[in-house]
């Protein structure tokens, strides 16, 4: 129990930094359960200012994580975007979806998304913590992160097997990020 408490103490002391890094890592394409971490962090946040901060840092981390690989792909050519889609276990539709995603309102969508999860945690967080306390929550929390990661990797592998791996030649001929080059 001391092991889990020490991690929760660290999370509380560095709440905004941990959430920022988690969303940055996941948005960059590495499978990471940042939503679960955001839910836990928003439950631990005891002031409205902390919850607003969580929305802000998760949005900024997500946007930076999204846009750095996109800009790198746009500047260095579509092959890096195809490589990115392959290493993140993306399917053949990954490249087209990525290009289309950045033509939409990424900032607004990310802000709404992170706000939604913080509000959900605020509304049900105390009850969920109480439930976990009554039903051996420490064991459940230790298993939840790895289980979420395993489910995410399995889902991406399933999508990749269904639609095929990302291919650089498709990107070069069909992607709008190479127009004018």
Query: What residue ranges do the domains of the chain occupy?
Result: 2-175
pLDDT at 169 over 80: no
3-state secondary structure of 70: helix
Backbone torsion region of residue 95, taken as left when φ is above 0, otherwise alpha when ψ lies between -120 and 50, otherwise beta: alpha
**pLDDT exceeds cutoff 60 at 179:** no
CA angle 14, 18, 22 (to 5 degrees): 175
pLDDT at 180: 45
Residue 177 DSSP code: G
**pLDDT tens per residue, range 43-63:** 888 888 989 999 999 999 988
Mean pLDDT of 153-165: 83
pLDDT score of 165:
75
| Alpha helix segments (H runs only) across 14-105 | 15-27, 34-44, 48-76, 78-87, 94-102
Output the DSSP codes for 94-142.
HHHHHHHHHTS-HHHHHHHHHHHHHHHHHHHHHHHHHHHHHTTHHHHHH
Mean of pLDDT values over 20-39? 84
Residue 34: per-residue pLDDT: 85
Q: For 53-90, how does the pLDDT look when each residue is reduced to its tens digit (9 = 90+)?
A: 999 999 999 888 887 777 776 677 667 777 777 777 77
Q: Which residues contact 49 (CB under 8 A, 6 or more apart)?
A: none
This prediction has a pTM of 0.59
User: What are the structure tokens assigned to 51, written together?
Assistant: 């919850």
Residues 6+ positions from 30 with CB-CB distance below 8 Å: 88
């Amino acid at each position: 129990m001391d092991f889990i408490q020490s991690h929760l103490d660290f999370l509380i002391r560095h709440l905004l930094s941990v959430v920022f890094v988690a969303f940055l890592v996941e948005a960059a394409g590495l499978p990471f359960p940042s939503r679960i971490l955001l839910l836990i962090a928003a439950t631990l946040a005891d002031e409205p200012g902390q919850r607003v901060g969580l929305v802000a840092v998760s949005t900024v981390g997500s946007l930076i994580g999204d846009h750095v690989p996109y800009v790198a792909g746009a500047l260095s050519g579509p092959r890096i975007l195809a490589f990115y889609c392959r290493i993140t276990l993306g399917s053949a539709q990954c490249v087209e979806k990525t290009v289309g995603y950045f033509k939409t309102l990424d900032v607004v969508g990310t802000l709404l998304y992170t706000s939604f999860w913080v509000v959900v945690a605020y509304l049900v967080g105390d009850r969920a913590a109480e439930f976990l306390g009554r039903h051996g929550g420490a064991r459940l929390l230790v298993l939840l992160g790895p289980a979420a990661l395993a489910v995410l990797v399995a889902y991406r592998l399933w999508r990749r097997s269904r639609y095929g791996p990302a291919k650089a030649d498709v990107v070069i001929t069909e992607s709008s990020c190479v127009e004018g080059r």
